Amino acid sequence: MRLNCDLGESYGAWTMGMDEHIMPFIDQANIACGFHAGDPITMQHTVQLALKHGVELGAHPSYPDLQGFGRRSMSMKPAEITALVSYQIGALSHIAASQGGLLRYVKPHGALYNDMMRDEAILESILLAISRSPHQLALMAMSTADNGGLKTLCEEYDVPLILEAFADRAYDERGFIVPRTQPGAVHNDTATIIEQARRLATGTPMQSINGSPLRLEADSLCVHGDNPDAIAAVEAIRKALKDLH
């Protein structure tokens, strides 16, 4: 089980996250590409940091929404979504290549990520952009109780799929994460987070927010490193997963 984290989200004089502290504990870095956060120098620095620690490089494209941090849905035509995702992939891919690295996958950010999970036209627009890359890139997408349709579309576009799950989020009975606006949507207790990570890593059913059992297929766990407590939790998750072997 790999660990991934959203990184490179500083912008200009504004610093966000603790990238230097979290990078040694993860396997995959989802790097902001400038549309919701990140700027060219931040992208370059984050790529360098990831390469230093042997971390896979992933593009983290979003809607063009700096003020809303990419968390607001936008009404866009499929061709526009394909173009904006291609633009962001291209920017980060070139920065990676200039540092001797290679982009490996794409994980959409925020509202774009959530929208693609509910709207097949948006998902296909993103897959089209990924499939047009000069070298093969995978799509990182949310694992749910039924991944059949997602897998089928990825196969049609010849795009490898990385199924992602969350150790610190509550799920509903369909395998979708509970919106942050609802009580209990985010786990703050480290023991609960570690136990959910163990269950996801071993394929053991966990409990949905309504109490029903839920089993999720996952290749990578999303973790957060924006404060010291989050980093301590990631260290504990890493140790717990290592102990499984």
Confidence (pLDDT) at 229: 83
pLDDT > 90? residue 228? no
Q: Which of 61-65, 179-183, 217-221 has the lowest mean pLDDT?
A: 179-183
Of the pLDDT bands very low, low, confident and very high (cuts 50, 70, 90), residue 230 is: confident
Q: What's the rounded mean pLDDT across residues 7-17? A: 93
Paired tokens of 21: 């502290």
Q: What's the rounded mean pLDDT across residues 109-125? A: 97
At 77, which amino acid appears?
K
Q: From 3.40.50.720, 3.20.20.80, 3.20.20.370, 3.40.50.620, which CATH number describes the 2-166+217-226 domain?
A: 3.20.20.370
pLDDT > 90? residue 227? no
Of the pLDDT bands very low, low, confident and very high (cuts 50, 70, 90), residue 225 is: confident
Where in the chain are the domains?
2-166+217-226
pLDDT > 80? residue 242? yes
Confidence (pLDDT) at 123: 98
The CA–CA distances, whole Å, from 44 to 24, 92, 120, 164, 196 equal 18, 8, 33, 25, 34
Confidence (pLDDT) at 197: 95
3-class state of residue 32 by DSSP: strand
**pTM for this one?**
0.95
Helix crossing, 78-98 with 40-52: angle to 10°? 60
Q: Which of 10-24, 124-138, 161-175, 226-240 has the lowest mean pLDDT?
A: 226-240
Question: What is the C-alpha to C-alpha distance for residues 13 and 145, in angstroms, rounded to an integer?
Answer: 41
For all residues of the chain together, what is the average pLDDT?
95
pLDDT > 90? residue 179? no
Q: What is the pLDDT of residues 126-157, one digit of tens each?
A: 999 999 999 999 999 999 999 999 999 999 99
Confidence (pLDDT) at 28: 98
Q: What is the pLDDT of residues 68-82, one digit of tens each?
A: 999 999 999 999 999
pLDDT > 80? residue 245? no
Q: What's the rounded mean pLDDT across residues 20-35? A: 96
Q: DSSP secondary-structure letter at 99?
A: T
Of the pLDDT bands very low, low, confident and very high (cuts 50, 70, 90), residue 89 is: very high
Beta 206-207 vs 213-214: how paired, if at all?
A: antiparallel
Of the pLDDT bands very low, low, confident and very high (cuts 50, 70, 90), residue 94 is: very high
pLDDT > 90? residue 39? yes
Sequence-distant contacts of 168-174: CB under 8 A, at least 24 apart: 168/193, 168/196, 168/223, 168/224, 168/233, 170/208, 170/209, 171/206, 171/208, 171/209, 171/214, 171/216, 172/208, 172/209, 172/210, 173/145, 173/208, 173/210, 173/212, 173/214, 174/144, 174/145, 174/146
